[in-house]
Structure 1
Amino acid sequence: MIPTRRLLLALPALATAARAQAPGARVATEYPATSIPGEGVLHFAAAMTARGVPITAATDGPDGYRSAAALDVLAATRFAAVDAFAGALGGVNPVFLLSSLPFLTASHADAARLKDLARPAYAAAVAPRGAELLWTTPWPPSGLWSRRPVTAPEDLRGLRVRTYDATGTEVLRAAGAEAEVLSFAEVEARLAAGTLDAVLSSGDGGAGRRLWRWLPNFTELNYAWPLSLAFASQAWLATLTDAQKQAVRDASAETEARQWQAIVGRLDANRRTMRENQVAIHEMTAPLQAALRNAASGAIEAWSARAGEARNILAAYRA
């Protein structure tokens, strides 16, 4: 039998270990397992479990999870960690809208450079809310899924379109569309009800949700290379030993490297998947590009006016 004094002294360490190893620890995303953020949480969960800290990946918006609520659900300890679309957190801090500013990034390399410049600001923005940045995930460039082909400026007029952040809503409204911000988890019901005509999203997210069931056209706008960001609850991290915290850092770094490598070749794979499902892929015409860029200029100015120190990141990227 263990002496009472020794047992009492051991209880705090045992409790910490029990919490860290609890089977209920989960990392969540609102996106499907076939999307690149979904693959990220699956990889992180496997990497953590292999390092002796079991955690379960939960995709497709478990328990109604939405990216916009990422910091709230972490504070409520509903999940140990979450993936969130950065633009959905624009209300927390304007810096989270940076990666989805229209026509700012045109390539994988551009997106990576902007991410490196912004990373300290992302981490600083969530720290007071009890969260810690773990890894970043690039989305393939955004395009427009639609019921009818969208190839000219007049095709946007009156188009009922889902956007993923406030900036995208401003841009498409300025171009004549009836745009609104919706979580991806809300999109399918709206499409099935016939109250949406189009969805601003990458081919990756759309392929994962099989948007081609309603929207058989995809216009390659190359609008933005936005990010998803993964955060851990500081409260959960506090339950871990030093070795387990190091496992989190190592698994996060491994996941980030995996995500940025996975994006290479993703565009071609997405195009193949879309064509296999009879999606018509349209290139952006010069008139459509001009109309969207003109509409975007006001949205970028509006973001800059409220962005505070995040303007310095944009200036450094453009230098």
Structure 2
Amino acid sequence: MTLPRRLILAAPALALGSAHAQTPGWTAASEYPATSIPGEGVTFFAEAATRRGVPVTAAPGAPDGYRSAAAFTALAQGRFAVVDAFSGSLNAVDPMFLLSSLPFLTASYADAARLRDLARPHYAAAAEKQGAALLWTTPWPPSGLWTKRPVTKPEDLQGLRVRTYDATGTAVLRAAGANAEVLSFAEVEARLESGALDAVLSSGDGGAGRRLWRWLPNFTIADYAWPISLAFASKTALAALPATGREAITAAAAETETRQWQAIEGRLAANQRTMRENNVAIHEPTDALRAALRQAAAGATTAWEAQAGDAGRAILAAYRR
């Protein structure tokens, strides 16, 4: 379920001068670099909103130390008007935000889009409770393992010091024998520079943006998950806009949503080309490693259902039909 197309079509007719005249500048932040797909999203949104008369500045790359886990706090404090956040980082707010990064649940772009449609009302309701409005969603390419040494078989995971992006990934990799911990992407480079990490669970997209190949010249295709990022606006900031300004933000968000899900097509192949150009060795896991990861992940979905309750079980039941 995407934002209504009629809002996109109506956008050129908005009273642009009125919105611009009454609107202070907004900032849209992401912890991810400008070259990542969420970074591109905040840039695209800023241009689309500004074009419609609401001036927005894009701020990718963790401005002012911004982290996805602090998305709602940053909005409440007025640090930014719009934030992009990796969904799984918000599990402390609501377990529903972990849905898209459940292991081996989605296997394609189409799967990720269908799961998004089923979960979107719940994401919006959870944001509403935090004084925020859901603007758009961004798909990530599938997650894999960036590593110092090749990881292709189960024993390669033993003791591996690996960064994960949420609690579920941490539990799964620990069950597989790794020494895993959740870290925001903004913390990763310092840990790699100090030698405190051997591996990073991430897509080729985020990794390409941060140039992880400087420390981790191997990438194992795990097809672990197709997670998403979510973008939110402060409801206080929205309420301060004139009606034409709010319509402009809604239309810009709808246009961004469409752009982001179109941009993911072909992204995996492009990322892998960039990785190979930078001497990254891309590995297929052995059947034994695939089996070990799936076994380690066996309890993750059950544990999430216990947290998410009837609403979570209903989404999974509908998704699996």
Shorter-chain TM-score bucket reads: over 0.9
Query: Is the CA contact (8 Å cut-off) linking 1:142 and 1:224 kept in structure 2?
Result: yes
- Kindly report the root-mean-square deviation, in angstroms, between the aligned alpha carbons of the 2 structures: 1.2
2:114 aligned residue = 113
1:317 aligned residue = 319
Query: Is the CA contact (8 Å cut-off) linking 1:19 and 1:239 kept in structure 2?
Result: no
2:24 aligned residue = 22
Counterpart mapping for 1:26-45 below 5 A: 26-45=27-46
One-letter code aligned to 2:74: V
Query: Is the CA contact (8 Å cut-off) linking 1:94 and 1:307 kept in structure 2?
Result: yes
Q: Distance in 1 between matches of 2:181 and 2:300?
A: 15
Q: Distance in 1 between matches of 2:126 and 2:22?
A: 26
1:134-173 Cα shifts (integer Å, max 9, x gaps): 0000000000000000000000000000000000000000
1:223-261 Cα shifts (integer Å, max 9, x gaps): 000000000000000011111111111100000000000
Change in 2 beyond 3 A, CA 1:20/1:283: farther
SS for the counterpart of 2:32 is coil
1:293-312 Cα shifts (integer Å, max 9, x gaps): 00001122211111112221
SS for the counterpart of 1:297 is coil
Q: Distance in 2 between matches of 1:27 and 1:295?
A: 37
2:257 aligned residue = 256
Following superposition, which runs of at least 4 residues in structure 1 exceed 3 angstroms of deviation?
16-20
Is structure 2 residue 205 aligned with structure 1 residue 204?
A: yes
Return the offset for 1:21.
Answer: 2.4
Q: Distance in 1 between matches of 2:207 and 2:133?
A: 29
1:143 aligned residue = 144
One-letter code aligned to 2:320: R
One-letter code aligned to 2:94: N
Return the offset for 1:30.
Answer: 0.2
Counterpart mapping for 1:99-248 below 5 A: 99-248=100-249
Q: Distance in 1 between matches of 2:50 and 2:79?
A: 19
SS for the counterpart of 1:307 is helix
One-letter code aligned to 2:34: A
SS for the counterpart of 1:37 is helix
Is structure 2 residue 48 aligned with structure 1 residue 75?
A: no
Q: Distance in 2 between matches of 1:159 and 1:138?
A: 27
Q: Distance in 2 between matches of 1:58 and 1:205?
A: 16
Bigger drift between 292-301 and 306-315 goes to 306-315
Is structure 2 residue 58 aligned with structure 1 residue 57?
A: yes
Return the offset for 1:213.
Answer: 0.2
1:301 aligned residue = 302
1:32-83 Cα shifts (integer Å, max 9, x gaps): 0000000000000000000010010001100110000000110111100000
One-letter code aligned to 1:222: D
SS for the counterpart of 1:134 is strand
What is the number of residues matched between the two proteins? 303
1:106-140 Cα shifts (integer Å, max 9, x gaps): 00000000000000000001101100000000000
SS for the counterpart of 2:192 is helix
Change in 2 beyond 3 A, CA 1:248/1:280: same
Is structure 2 residue 242 aligned with structure 1 residue 269?
A: no
Residue segments in structure 2 that go unaligned for 5+ positions in a row: 1-17
Is structure 2 residue 44 aligned with structure 1 residue 48?
A: no
Change in 2 beyond 3 A, CA 1:263/1:74: same
Counterpart mapping for 1:86-97 below 5 A: 86-97=87-98
1:265-287 Cα shifts (integer Å, max 9, x gaps): 00010000000000000012110
Q: Distance in 1 between matches of 2:302 and 2:209?
A: 33
Bigger drift between 80-89 and 293-302 goes to 293-302
SS for the counterpart of 2:122 is helix
Give the greater-gyration-radius structure (CA).
1
TM-score with structure 2 length normalisation?
0.93
Change in 2 beyond 3 A, CA 1:247/1:290: same
TM-score with structure 1 length normalisation?
0.93
Residue segments in structure 1 that go unaligned for 5+ positions in a row: 1-15
Q: Distance in 1 between matches of 2:84 and 2:293?
A: 29
SS for the counterpart of 1:187 is helix
Q: Distance in 2 between matches of 1:211 and 1:58?
A: 21
One-letter code aligned to 1:317: Y
